[in-house]
Amino acid sequence: MNTDKVNDGYIPKTVASLKKCQECPMGLNIHKGHDLAGQQAVRSVVDDLVSVLFPGCHGSRTVSPCEMHKHLETQLTGTEKRLQNQIALAWQYQCTVEVCENCEDCDAKAAEAVKFLFDGLSEIKNVLEHDIVAAYEGDPAARSTMEVVMSYPGVYAIIVHRIAHALYMQKVPLIPRIMAEYAHSLTGIDIHPGATIDKGFFIDHGTGVVIGETCEIGKNVKIYQGVTLGAKSFEKDEDGNPVKGIKRHPDVGENVVIYAGATILGGNTVIGSDSTIGGNVWLTHSIPPGSIVYNQQPHPMIKQDGRWSMVNGPKADFGAGI
């Protein structure tokens, strides 16, 4: 069978239909002429920035002390140009979405956003040192801080979040979300770049954690897998569309522990400092500082020798860590 002849029949037709789709108003990556950076390009920038913050721990090669200055300079110089271009294109795209009447210079805004991020990298690194110590001290299985930096998904997720959050604070469109979803795809941890998270933050295990855009989390907070800090409901405008830009997610005070599977919802919900939230708790209202919240322990039924018996569990088993 002559496959070339068969391909001649349907491939040109497929190409033509896809090209026509790209030219429609909802075209993907050439929306009104703006050639946006693809996911892989943004992910490459994330990888380079993480390797700048932790050279030798993240990246494709070791970096000796004598090479450090040159390594950092080379990485930052190359990353600056690529990230600035990505942000400029993202702003150009956003101008078409919002139909800006007084659009500022996208290149100048991009340069300022990158400068803001780079000027803050040393402070981001300092905050991350507290996160790393919190992970090491908060997990009996951790053998060293190096193990924490190089292998813990929760630590990687917060590294990327602190980079993305800096750009979010500069109102950069698209790029912070792509960065956050990159970390999400690798770790199973979904942190919106708008969430404000203080130092000493540790996510243990991590899979299934969701932290919403308007969350504010205090110092030294530890959460386990499956925790959701989400919105209780969405306010809608007169046309039935969700209202954007309002407080939707809970706040968490300092020195709080939230165990696996807990769900905390609502923009008016505040978890007071020094509180403990047990596993699988569903919470939609505020609690004062120093609170302990847990579900009443269920009574499992056990069948043995053909007979069923009820077992009373411990009163305050929070369903904690692993």
Count structural domains, the chain: 2
Structural domain range at position 147: 32-188
Beta bridge partner(s), residue 252:
217, 271
User: Is 233 inside any structural domain?
Assistant: yes
Tokens of 235: 């306010």
Residue 251, SS3?
Answer: strand
Strand order in the sheet with 270-271: 196-197, 216-217, 251-252, 270-271
User: Is 198 inside any structural domain?
Assistant: no
Q: DSSP assignment, residue 287?
A: B
Q: pLDDT above 90 covers what percent of the chain?
A: 62
Q: DSSP assignment, residue 306?
A: T
Same domain, 282 and 233: yes
Same domain, 47 and 160: yes
pLDDT digits (tens, 9 = 90+) for 145-200: 999 999 999 999 999 999 999 999 999 999 999 999 999 999 999 999 999 999 99
Per residue, the 3-state secondary structure of 29-80, as one string, reads: CCHHHCCCCCHHHHHHHHHHHHHHHCECCECCCCCCHHHHHHHHHHHHHHHH
Same domain, 90 and 138: yes
Tokens of 141: 């299985």
pLDDT digits (tens, 9 = 90+) for 259-273: 999 999 999 999 999
pLDDT of residue 3: 55
pLDDT digits (tens, 9 = 90+) for 89-114: 999 888 877 766 556 688 999 999 99
Contacts 24+ apart (CB under 8 A), 19-23: none
User: Is 24 inside any structural domain?
Assistant: no
User: Is 26 inside any structural domain?
Assistant: no
φ and ψ at 83, to 5 degrees?
Answer: -65, -40
User: Is 4 inside any structural domain?
Assistant: no
Neighbouring CB atoms inside 10 A of 181's CB total 18
Same domain, 48 and 166: yes
Residue 317, SS3?
Answer: coil
Average of per-residue pLDDT values in the chain: 87
CB 15 within 8 A of CB 21: no
Same domain, 168 and 231: no
Within 8 A by CB and 6+ apart from 7, the residues are none
R_g of the chain, CA atoms, integer Å = 24
pLDDT of residue 234: 77
Per residue, the 3-state secondary structure of 214-241, as one string, reads: CCEECCCCEECCCCEEECCCCCECCCCC
CB 154 within 8 A of CB 205: yes
What's the whole-model pTM score?
0.86
Same domain, 45 and 144: yes
Alpha helix stretches (DSSP H) within 139-170? 145-151, 153-169
CATH code at 95?
Answer: 1.10.3130.10
User: Is 62 inside any structural domain?
Assistant: yes
Q: Which one of 132, 155, 188 terminates a domain?
A: 188
Same domain, 213 and 146: no
Within 8 A by CB and 6+ apart from 147, the residues are none
Q: Taking 60 as the threshold, does the pLDDT of residue 30 lie above it?
A: no
Beta bridge partner(s), residue 272:
none
Same domain, 40 and 136: yes
CATH code at 283?
Answer: 2.160.10.10
Q: DSSP assignment, residue 270?
A: E
Q: Which one of 188, 219, 248 terminates a domain?
A: 188
Q: Which helix (H) or strand (E) holds 126?
A: helix 121-138
Q: Which of 190, 236, 198 is nearest to 217 (CA)?
A: 198
pLDDT digits (tens, 9 = 90+) for 274-309: 999 999 999 999 999 999 999 988 888 899 888 988
Same domain, 167 and 250: no
Same domain, 85 and 220: no
Q: Which of 248, 256, 265, 249 is nearest to 289 (CA)?
A: 256
Q: DSSP assignment, residue 312?
A: P
Give the confidence band of 31 by pLDDT, cuts at 50, 70, 90: very low
Match 């450090």 to its residue by tokens.
Answer: 68
What's the mean pLDDT in 73-85? 91
Q: Which one of 188, 223, 255 terminates a domain?
A: 188
User: Is 17 inside any structural domain?
Assistant: no
Cα 160 to Cα 21, 121, 163, 187, distances in angstroms = 34, 12, 5, 11
Same domain, 303 and 163: no
pLDDT digits (tens, 9 = 90+) for 241-260: 888 889 999 999 999 999 99
User: Is 13 inside any structural domain?
Assistant: no
Residue 137, SS3?
Answer: helix
Same domain, 151 and 229: no
